[in-house]
Amino acid sequence: MDKIVISGGKKLKGRVSISGAKNAAVAILPAAVLSDNVCRIENIPNIKDITLMCRILSDMGAKIKLINKNTIEIDSRAMSFSVAPSELMRSMRASSYLLGVLLSKFSEANVYLPGGCDFGLRPIDQHLKGFEALGAKYSLANGIVTVKCDRLVGTHIYLDVVSVGATINIMLAAVKAEGLTIIENAAKEPHIVDLANFLNCMGADIFGAGTDVIKIRGVERLRGVTYSIIPDQIEAGTYMVAAAATGGDILLENVIPRHLESITAKLLEMGVNFEEFNDSLRVFCNQRLKKCNVKTMPHPGFPTDMQPQITALLSTADGTSIVNESVWDNRFRYVDELHRMGAKISVDGRVAVVEGVNSLKGALVKATDLRAGAALIIAGLSAEGTTTIEEIQHIERGYENIVGKLQTLGADVKIVSSEPFSTGVSGL
Ligand code: EPU
Q: In terms of Cα–Cα distance, which of 164, 103, 96, 161 is closest to 135? A: 103
- The answer to whether 248 and 13 are in contact (CB under 8 A) is yes
Q: CA 87, CA 113: separation in Å to the nearest integer?
A: 10
Report residue 10's pLDDT band, with 50, 70 and 90 as the boundaries: very high
- Is residue 292 part of the annotated active site? The answer reads no
- Ligand 1 midpoint to CA 23 (Å): 10
Q: How far apart are CA 347 and CA 353, in angstroms?
A: 6
Q: Whose CA is nearest to atom 43 of ligand 1?
A: 305
pLDDT band per the 50, 70, 90 thresholds, residue 121: low
What's the CA-to-centroid distance between 325 and ligand 1, angstroms?
13
pLDDT greater than 50 at residue 42: yes
* Residue owning the nearest CA to atom 5 of ligand 1: 124
Q: What is the model's pLDDT at position 423?
A: 44
CA 292 – CA 314 distance, rounded (Å):
8
Distance in Å, CA 165 to ligand 1 centroid: 6
Phi, psi of 325 (to 5 degrees): -95, 105
Distance 425 CA to ligand 1 centre (A): 46
**Tell me: the pLDDT tens digits for 177-192?**
999 999 999 999 999 9
Give the model's confidence band at 425: pLDDT under 50 very low, under 70 low, under 90 confident, else very high: very low
> Which whole number is the average pLDDT over 119-127?
82
3-state SS, one letter per residue, for the chain: CEEEEEECCCCCEEEEECCECHHHHHHHHHHHCCCCCCEEEECCCCCHHHHHHHHHHHHCCCEEEEEECCEEEEECCCCCCCCCCCHHHHHCHHHHHHHHHHHHHHCEEEEECCCCCCCCCCCCHHHHHHHHHCCCEEEEECCEEEEECCCCECCEEECCCCCHHHHHHHHHHHCCCECEEEEECCCCCHHHHHHHHHHHHCCCEEECECECEEEEECCCCCCCCEEECCECHHHHHHHHHHHHHCCCEEEEECCCHHHHHHHHHHHHHHCCEEEECCCEEEEECCCCCECCCEEECCCCCECHHHHHHHHHHHCCCECEEEEECCCCCCCCCCHHHHHHCCCEEEEECCEEEEECCCCCECCEEECCCHHHHHHHHHHHHHCECEEEEECCHHHHCCCCCHHHHHHHCCCEEEEEECCCCCCCCCCC
Q: Whose CA is nearest to atom 27 of ligand 1?
A: 305
Q: How far is the CA of 164 from the centre of ligand 1 (A)?
A: 6
Q: Tell me how far apart the alpha carbons of residues 41 and 81 are, in angstroms, rounded to a whole number.
A: 23
For residue 389, pLDDT beyond 80 = yes
Ligand 1 centre distance from Cα of residue 114 (Å): 12
Instruction: Determine contact, residues 1/419, Cβ cutoff 8 Å.
Output: yes
**Residue 30: predicted pLDDT:** 96
pLDDT tens, 56-81?
A: 999 999 999 999 999 999 999 989 87
Is 235 near ligand 1, meaning CB less than 6 Å away?
no
Q: Quick one: pLDDT at residue 222?
A: 98
pLDDT for residue 221 is more than 90: yes
Q: What is the pLDDT of residue 80?
A: 83
Tell the residue nearest (CA) to atom 37 of ligand 1.
164
Beta carbon of 394 within 6 Å of any ligand 1 atom: no
pLDDT, tens digit, 9 for 90 and up, residues 222-273: 999 999 999 999 999 999 999 999 999 999 999 999 999 999 999 999 999 9
Q: How confident is the model at residue 92 (pLDDT cuts 50, 70, 90)?
A: confident
Q: What band does 89 get if pLDDT is binned at 50, 70 and 90? A: confident
User: What pLDDT, on a 0 to 100 scale, did the predictor assign at position 112?
Assistant: 87
Question: Which of 164, 234, 262, 371 to mutate to test ligand 1, by most ligand atoms within 8 A of the CB atom?
Answer: 164
The reported pLDDT for the residue numbered 118 is 65
Report the pLDDT value the prediction gives residue 120, as an integer from 0 to 100. Answer: 63
Q: Which atom belonging to ligand 1 lies closest to the Cα atom of 49?
A: 32
- Residue 411: CB partners within 8 Å, gap ≥ 6? 6, 10, 12, 246, 381
Q: Provide CB contacts within 8 A for 56, sequence distance 6+.
A: 86, 88, 89, 95, 98
* Atom 2 of ligand 1, nearest CA residue: 123
User: Which residues make beta-bridge pairs with 364?
Assistant: 388
Lowest average pLDDT, out of 9-23, 51-65, 400-414, goes to 51-65
Centroid of ligand 1 to alpha carbon of 166 (angstroms): 9
pLDDT digits (tens, 9 = 90+) for 268-315: 999 999 999 999 999 999 899 999 999 999 999 999 999 999 999 999
What separation in Å is there between the alpha carbon of 303 and the centre of ligand 1? 11
- Residue 94 CA: nearest ligand 1 atom is 32
C-alpha distances in angstroms, 225 versus 255, 292, 395?
Answer: 23, 44, 31
Bridge partners for 352 per DSSP: 323, 347
**Which residue minimizes the CA distance to atom 23 of ligand 1?**
165
- In the sheet where 213-217 sits, what is the strand order? 156-158, 180-184, 213-217, 205-207
pLDDT in tens, 195-206: 999 999 999 999
* Mean pLDDT over the full length of the chain: 94
Residue 413 φ/ψ, nearest 5 degrees: -145, 145
Residue 194 Cβ contacting ligand 1 at under 6 Å: no
Task: Provide the percentage of residues in the chain whose pLDDT is more than 70.
Answer: 95
| Atom number in ligand 1 closest to CA 165 | 23
Q: Which of 19, 22, 23, 306 to mutate to test the pocket of ligand 1 (most atoms within 8 A of CB)?
A: 23
The single-letter code of the amino acid at 1 is M
Tell me which residue of 374, 14, 17 sits closest to 231, measured CA to CA: 17
In ligand 1, the atom with minimum distance to the C-alpha of 299 is 38
User: How does 12-26 read in b/e, with b if 16+ C-beta sit within 10 Å?
Assistant: bbeebebbbbbbbbb
Q: Is 127 in the pocket of ligand 1 (CB under 6 A)?
A: yes
Q: What is the mean pLDDT of residues 37-60?
A: 95
pLDDT at 88: 84
Which member of 39, 54, 117, 201 is catalytic? 117
Condensed to tens digits (0 to 9), the pLDDT of residues 161-177 reads 999 999 999 999 999 99
Residue 85: the pLDDT is 73
Protein residue with least CA distance to atom 17, ligand 1:
163
- Dist CA 269 CA 418 (whole Å): 41
Instruction: Find out whether the beta carbon of 321 lies less than 6 Å from any atom of ligand 1.
Output: no
Per-residue pLDDT at 81: 77
